[in-house]
Structure 1
Amino acid sequence: MKHTFLLIAILFFFSCGKDKVVLLPEISHSEITEILDVSPAYLFYDETQKDSVELNRKNLIVTTNWLVNVDKRLTLKQAIPHITLLQEKKRNSSHKNENAKNYFTCNDISRKNLGFIEFTDVFYHVESSSDYFNKNSNLKPSESSIGINVDFNNSITIITPDSDPFIIQTNKENVINDLKKVIPDTKTVYLNFNSALTFQDYISFKSLILSLENKSIHISNNEFIY
Structure 2
Amino acid sequence: MIKRIFLTLFLSSILLSGCQKKAVQLPLIDIPGISEIQNHSSIWIFMETNNGATSAKLNKNNKILNTHWIFNIDRRLTMGQVVPLLIEMQENRNKDSMHKKEGMKNYFSYADSATEKISLIPFPQTSFIMETTNDKNRIMAPCTVILEIWGEQIKINNEFLPLDSLPATLKSDYSCNPEDELTILLTYDPQTSYQDYLKVKAFLVLNEINCASVEYVYTVK
TM-score between both structures, scaled by the size of structure 2: 0.81
Higher strand share: 2
Identity of paired residues, percent? 25
Contact 2:33–2:206 (Cα < 8 Å) also in 1 = no
Separation (CA, whole Å) in 1 of partners of 2:147 and 2:53: 28
Alignment-derived partner of residue 196 in structure 1: 191
Contact 1:129–1:190 (Cα < 8 Å) also in 2 = no
Q: Is residue 100 of structure 2 the alignment partner of residue 96 of structure 1? A: yes
Separation (CA, whole Å) in 2 of partners of 1:73 and 1:204: 13
- What SS does the aligned partner of 1:72 have? coil
The one-letter amino acid paired with 2:150 is: D
Structure 1 range deviating more: 86-95 or 169-178: 169-178
CA RMSD of superposed structures (Å): 2.7
Q: Is residue 211 of structure 2 the alignment partner of residue 219 of structure 1? A: yes
The one-letter amino acid paired with 2:24 is: V
Alignment-derived partner of residue 143 in structure 2: 144
1:50-129 residue pairs with structure 2 within 5 A? 50-94=53-97, 95-127=99-131
Separation (CA, whole Å) in 2 of partners of 1:92 and 1:129: 31
Higher helix share: 1
- What SS does the aligned partner of 1:106 have? strand
Contact 2:32–2:206 (Cα < 8 Å) also in 1 = no
- Measured after TM superposition, the shift of residue 175 of structure 1 is 3.9
| Corresponding residue to 1:181 among 161, 172, 191 | 172
Deviation string 1:81-131 (CA, Å, 9 cap, x unpaired) is 001111110111323212111001111223321111111322222238974
Superposition misfits of 4+ residues, deviation over 6 angstroms: none
Contact 1:152–1:197 (Cα < 8 Å) also in 2 = yes
Give the total of aligned pairs. Answer: 208
The one-letter amino acid paired with 2:46 is: F
| Corresponding residue to 1:34 among 28, 33, 36 | 36
| Corresponding residue to 1:205 among 194, 200, 214 | 200
Deviation string 1:143-186 (CA, Å, 9 cap, x unpaired) is 42221122246241x3xxxxxxx322222443443444333446
- What SS does the aligned partner of 1:11 have? strand
Separation (CA, whole Å) in 2 of partners of 1:187 and 1:43: 32
Alignment-derived partner of residue 27 in structure 2: 25
The one-letter amino acid paired with 2:208 is: E
Stretches of structure 2 lacking an aligned partner (at least 5 in a row): none
Separation (CA, whole Å) in 1 of partners of 2:185 and 2:169: 17
Separation (CA, whole Å) in 1 of partners of 2:89 and 2:25: 20
Contact 1:43–1:71 (Cα < 8 Å) also in 2 = yes
- What SS does the aligned partner of 1:52 have? strand
Stretches of structure 1 lacking an aligned partner (at least 5 in a row): 135-139, 159-165
Separation (CA, whole Å) in 2 of partners of 1:152 and 1:4: 27
TM-score between both structures, scaled by the size of structure 1: 0.79
